[in-house]
Structures are given as C-alpha cells and as structure tokens.
Structure 1
Amino acid sequence: MRIVVIGGTGLVGRKVVELLQERGHDAVAASPSTGVDAVTGAGLEAALAGADVVVDTPNAPSFEDGPVLEFFERSTTNLVAAEKQAGVRHHVVLSIVGTDRLPDIGYMRAKDAQERIVRESGIPFTIVRATQFFQFIQTLADAASQGDTTILSDVLMQPIAAADVSAALAEVAVAEAVNGVIEIAGPEPLRLDDLARRLLAVRGDSRTVVTEPAAGYFGGKVDDRSLTPGNDPAITDQRFGGTTYSRWLEDAR
C-alpha cells in the first residue's frame, strides 16, 4: 500500500512514516523540506501519484486566528483536489478533541474548517481527534509565564504522548475509512496546572505555577468537558494511548 504522510517530517508524521515502513508499506513523507507544499500546491501532484492513502498531519506555522485559518483552508483544499486527481481512496486527518466545542478559539475554528473540507470532499475519510500532547505542556507553561510565575487554569484534560498518536494514525491508515470521527486520548484525566507543575519540577525549572480558573485555554473559556474525550455523541470510536504522564516525564528531564 502506498501511503503519503503530509507533514511527514514533523513530530507525529515522522513516526507514522517509520511505523508504516516497518510494516512493509510504501510510506513516504511529504513536507516543504521534501519539496511538497500543500499551501501553495507545489509538488502535490507528483507526491500523490499512485497513492492509496493520505495521512494529513501538518501543523500551521502561526497560531494567530487569520493565518491559521488560511493555512488549513488552503492546504486542505489543495490536498483534496490533488487526491481526487490521483484516485486516493482514504484521507486520514489528525484533528483535536474539542474542535467542535470551542468556536471562540481561533485554532479550533481552523481545525473545524479543515474537518469540514475533508467531510465534503467526497473522498472516504477518517478524522482522528487527539487530546493535547504531553509535549505541548511546556509551550502552554511558557506562554502563560510572567517572570517567575506561570498562571494556568486547572481545567481537566486527558493528554497523550505524541508517539501513541502516531501509532493510532498508522493503524487507521491501513484500515477502511470510517467516514466519521475517532477520538484518541491518554490513559488518565489530569489538570493543566498540575501537568505544568510536575513538568517544571522534573526539569528543575523554578517557576511557580499559580492556579487561576479564569485563565481559560488559548484565550477561550473552557470547562472540564471541553478538552476531554467522550463528550461528543457523534464519535464513531474511542481509543486510549498506553503511556502515562509519569512514564513520559521520566524521559522529559
């Protein structure tokens, strides 16, 4: 099976390519560094020639509302057009748990637009919504820091190791399209402020994490259902990664 991984040199995509190749598939990475730019369409036709499946994992270079929406709308529109021309039989897209519940967050609106384009493309699809990656907790802590203080909400999350997301995507890529949404989350619900507190402690970071429920998430209002799995009745399937946060922290020092 020939599988093209858009964003295949990134954190998640690179591991998806490796896993598929280990299983004997003709999996290739497609990203600007390999000459494929989904935003401009450059290199897409050649990259998708003969492809059976596309796994769509790129991340936007900017989180600002306008640029991120433009990135996902343009890249996904170009991608599905190229897939139709190439006869691709399955489009797998990586999205985020809570995408359809947080319209006041620009990044979520952009991912919702991406999902809509995929749904309406006519190409068989599977949307894989993952919870927040363990790897992103540092970014959240840094963005919320003012000097030696980090101000974060205590919102409930169920974060996941990026490697577990890659493993799930590799499984979905070789299965039949579900034409629906699969959720994947970590094995345990945890609170954002505590996640940051534990990470900073492990890394010897002296910043103090202050809990402020009104701090929200990326400027949006959230509650304990916003970022956790199992709160959308339209979900086709639910899966859970096996890596606990404690285990991941052992390698995050």
Structure 2
Amino acid sequence: MKVVVIGGTGLIGSKLVAKLGEHGHEAVAAAPSTGVDTLTGEGLAEVLAGAQVVIDVSNSPSFEPAAVMEFFGTSTRNLLAAEAAAGVGHHVALSVVGTERMPENGYFAAKIAQEQLIEKSGIPFSIVHATQFFEFSRSIADAATDGDSVRIAPVRYQPIAGEEVAQAVGRVAVGQPLNGRVEVAGPEQSRMDEFFREALAAWGDPRTVVTDPEASYYGSVPGERTLVPGEGAIIGEIRYRDWLGQNPAK
C-alpha cells in the first residue's frame, strides 16, 4: 500500500514513515524539503499518484492565531483537492484532544476548521486526537514561565510518547476509514501542575512550578478535563519517567 505522509520528516511523520516501511508499506515522506509544499500545492500531484492513503501530520510553523488558521486552511484545502484528483481513498489527520472544549484557543480553532474541511470533503477519513507529546514538555514549561516560576493550572493531564502517537496513527491509516474520530493518550493521568513539578525535578531544572488556576495554556485557560480523553481512548504503555530515561536530553 502506498501511504503518503504529509509532514513526513517531522517528529511524528518520520516515526510513521519508518513504522509503515517496517510493515511492508510504501511510505513516502512529503515535506518542503522533499519537494512537496501543501501551501503552494507544489509537488502534490506527483507524490499522490498511486497513493491509497494520505496521512497529514504537518504543523504550522507559527502558533499566532491568524497564521495558524491560514496554514491549516490553505494546506488542507490544497491537499484534499489533490487527493480527490488522485483518487485517494483514505485521509488521516492528526489533531488534538480537547479541540472542541477550548475553541477560543487560536491553535485549537484552526484544528477545528481543518477537521471541518476534512469532514465536508467527501473523502473517507479518520481523525486521531492525541494528547500532548512527552517531547514537547520542555517547550510547554518554557511557554508557561514567568521569571523563575512556571505557572501551571491544576487540571487533568495525560501526555503520551510520540512513538505511541505514530503507532496509533499508523494502525488507523492501514485500517478501514472511521469517518469519525479516535483519541489516544498516555497511560498516566495526573494534575498538570504536579506533572510539571515532578518533570522539572527530574530535569534538574531550578524553576519553581506555581499552581495557578488562571494559568493559560498557549493563550487560553483550560478546564478541568479539556486536555484529557474520554472513554474509549487508545491508551499507550510508555510512562514519562521511563521515556525520559531513554531520552534524557529531551
């Protein structure tokens, strides 16, 4: 099966290409560095020729609300049009757990818009909602830093290893289209402030985590269960401390 991975050179995309290849599929990494640009449409027709499945794990280079909305809107429209022309039978997209629960967040709003375009396209689809990746823990802490403090809301939090996100997306991609959504999350749920308090200690980071019910997450204040999945989610097996032991620099 030929599977084209949009964003195939990134964190999740590169893992997907490797995993799909290990299982005998023709996995093609599509990204600007490989001559495929979803914003301009360059290279799309060529890379999609003969593809049965397209997986979109691309991401906006900017999280500024207008920029991220423009990125996902333009790239998704171009991609879906090219897929329709090529006869692609399954569109898979990676999104975020909780998008519908925090629509005032610029990034989440852009992902909602992307999902709506996919639903209306007429192409059979599957959307995978993932919780926050372990790999982004340090950048999340940095974004929440105020001086020597890291201000984190005491809400539920259930992050996951990027490897297990790629595994879940890959399995969905080679199956029948869901024409709906599935959630994936890590094996441990805790309070977000407690997670980061323990994480900073494990990193040897001197910053202090401050529990702040009004602390924002990339511009919006999450609710108690905004960032965690509901019933029926795919649950990973890798725990953060075990992952950190294998990835000490991350």
TM range (shorter): over 0.9
Q: Does 1:129 align with 2:129?
A: yes
Counterparts of 1:248 and 1:192, CA distance in 2:
18
Q: Deviations 1:110-141 (Å, cap 9, x if unpaired)?
A: 00000000000000000000011111121111
User: Where do 1:42-81 residues align within 5 Å?
Assistant: 42-81=42-81
- 3-state secondary structure, aligned to 2:129: strand
Match of 1:246 in 2: 241
Q: Which amino acid aligns with 1:199?
A: A
Normalising by structure 1, what TM-score? 0.95
Corresponding residue of 2:118: 118
Partner residue, 1:204: 204
Report how far residue 178 of structure 1 moved. 0.9
Distance 1:27 1:50 in 2: 12
Q: Deviations over 1:158-211 (max 9, x none)?
A: 111111000011111110001000111111212222222222222221111111
Is 1:180–2:175 an aligned residue pair?
no
* Distance in 1 (alpha carbons) for counterparts of 2:196 and 2:35: 37
Structure 1 moving runs of 4+ over 6 Å: none
Match of 1:34 in 2: 34
1:99 maps onto 2:99 in alignment? yes
Letter matched to residue 251 of structure 1: Q
Which letter does structure 2 place at the counterpart of 1:249? L
Q: 1:157–1:189: 8 Å Cα contact kept in structure 2?
A: yes
- The 3-state SS of whatever aligns with 1:213 is coil
Between 184-193 and 115-124, report the one with greater CA deviation: 184-193
Aligned-pair identity in percent equals 54
- CA distance in 2: counterparts of 1:79 and 1:47, whole angstroms: 11
RMSD: 1.2
Number of aligned residues: 248
Query: Is the CA contact 2:144–2:216 (under 8 Å) kept in the aligned structure 1?
Result: no
Report if the CA contact (8 A) 2:143-2:218 is conserved. Answer: no
Per the alignment, residue 86 of structure 1 pairs with 86
| Cα pair 1:157 1:224 within 8 Å, conserved | no
